[in-house]
Amino acid sequence: MVGRSQSSHVQAGKTSLYTTIKARLYPTAEQAELFEKTFGCCRFIWNRMLSDQQKFYDETGAHFIPTPAKYKDGAPFLKEVDNQALIQTHNQLSQAFRIFFKNPEHFGHPRFKRKKDGRDAFTACNHVFSSGPTIYLTRDGIRMTKAGVVKAKFPRRPRNGWKLKRITVSKTRTGTYNCSIVFEYPAPAPQPIPPTPERTIGLKYSVSHFYVADNGAMADPPHWLKLTQEKLARLQQRMARMTPGSRNYEEAVQKYRLLHEHIANQRRDYIHKESRRIANAWDAVCVRADDLADGNRAMKLSNGLELGFGMFRACLDYKLSRQGKSLLMVERCAPTSRQCHSCGYLLPEGVDYRREQWRCPACGAALQREINAAQNIKTAGLRQVLTTQKSA
C-alpha cells in the first residue's frame, strides 16, 4: 500500500517527494518481544517527559522537555531498545507542543499515554555510515537496529533512486505488526495546471451515495459496516453470554476485532482507488469544506462518518497537488443546496429544500437536490480561482 506523499523543498525545477510503503511484518518470538519492549519504553519515556515538563512549567513558568538520556540511569531497561525510537518519541512530543502552542483552540494539550489505548507504535530514522545504513530492505524482509532482519511482505518495491528515511512499526488490536517505510526521491517540480470549467468536477458529499458529481455521477460504494452488521450483532450477543477473561471470550473478541479491521481495510482500499481515479481524470476538484463531525451529530438515523469522506478529501488533496492540480474548498456555509444553478435564485430560509427534487420558482428549472448542489459547488470553486487571479 502506498500512503500519503508530501512535497519538500524545490530547487532548480526539482523537488524532493516523500512516499510511504506499508509492509506487513512477520517477526519471530524474540523480535516480537523486542517490539513490545520498545512500545512500552516509548510510552514510558513519553509519560515521564510530559510529567517533568508540567512540573518544570508549574515551578518556573517556562517550557522545557528533558531528553531521553536523562532517564536511562534510573531506568536501565531503556538501554535494551533502539535509541532512535526514544529520540523520535522526544521529537514527537516536541512537535505536539509546537502544534498546541501555535493553535491552542484547535489542538489539544499533549496527553499521557495508556497501555489499554492500544496505540502501539515507534519510529526510527535511518542513518548511513561508512559501514552501511542502519535500516535497509532485503529480499524478503527489512533489517532494523537490534531486531535484525524481520521477515516482511511488501506490496511493491522501492524504485531506483529512492532513499529510505525512516520506518514506523505499529501493532494493531488484532496482534498484527505493520511497518510504514518512508522514502525520499527526486522528481520534477509539478507545473501548476489552471482549472478550467471543462476539466473541473464538483463533488457533493452524500450519505447515501458517498458523493454526487455535478455531471450526475454517483459513487455508491458498498456500505461495508451495514453489510456486516448482523454478523457483528451475533458476535456481541455471544460475548455478552460469556465470562470476561475466559478463553472463549478472548477468541470472540479477536474475531470481533478482525472483522472491524477487515471493514477498515475495505474502506481504505476503496478511498485510495477512487481518489486516484478522480485525480488522474480531472485537473481540479471542488468540494465543500463541511465539518463532517458536526454533520454526523445532526443525523439521527444514519452514520455520516461510515464511508470516510474526510479521508477521501485528504487523499484527493495530496494526489492532486503532486500533479500540479488543485482541490478547491468551498465555504461550508455556502447555500449550495437551496440555490438554483441555472438562474441563481435562492430559496428563502423557511422553505424546505431537503426534498430530493424541487422546481425553481424563478426560472422553472427542475432540479435534483444533490446534483444541483454539486453544480453550485463547482461554480463557487471556479469563482474562487477567478477572484484569486484578479487579486494577484
Judged against a pLDDT cut of 60, whether residue 228 lies above it is answered with: yes
Band of pLDDT at residue 5, cut at 50, 70 and 90 = very low
Across 213-236, average pLDDT: 89
Q: 284 with 199: CB under 8 angstroms?
A: yes
Give the number of residues written for the chain: 392
Burial 322-343 (b: 16+ CB within 10 A, else e): beebbbbbbeeebebbbbbbee
Q: What is the pTM of this model?
A: 0.82
Tracing cell 482541490 back to the chain, one arrives at 327
HSE-up of 54 (CA within 13 Å, CB side)? 9
Report the alpha-carbon distance of residue 203 to residue 221 in Å, rounded: 15
* Single-letter amino acid code for the residue at 254: Q
Burial 349-374 (b: 16+ CB within 10 A, else e): eeeebeeeebebeeeeeebebbbbbb
The DSSP string of 316-350 is HHHHHHTTT-EEEEEPTT---SSB-TTT--B--TT
The domain limits of the chain are 6-188, 197-391
Judged against a pLDDT cut of 50, whether residue 319 lies above it is answered with: yes
Band of pLDDT at residue 305, cut at 50, 70 and 90 = low
Q: State the pLDDT at residue 375.
A: 92
Task: Give the tens place of pLDDT for each residue, 246-271.
Answer: 999 999 999 999 999 999 999 999 99
Task: Give the tens place of pLDDT for each residue, 28-66.
Answer: 999 999 999 999 999 999 999 999 999 999 999 999 999
Check the CA dihedral 274-279-284-287 and report its sign.
Answer: positive
CA end-to-end span of the chain, whole Å?
A: 40
Per the DSSP assignment, residues forming a β-bridge with 373 are none
Average pLDDT along the chain: 88
Q: State the pLDDT at residue 8.
A: 45
Q: Over pLDDT 90: what percentage of the chain? A: 65
Judged against a pLDDT cut of 70, whether residue 7 lies above it is answered with: no
Band of pLDDT at residue 100, cut at 50, 70 and 90 = very high
Judged against a pLDDT cut of 50, whether residue 303 lies above it is answered with: yes
Band of pLDDT at residue 301, cut at 50, 70 and 90 = very low
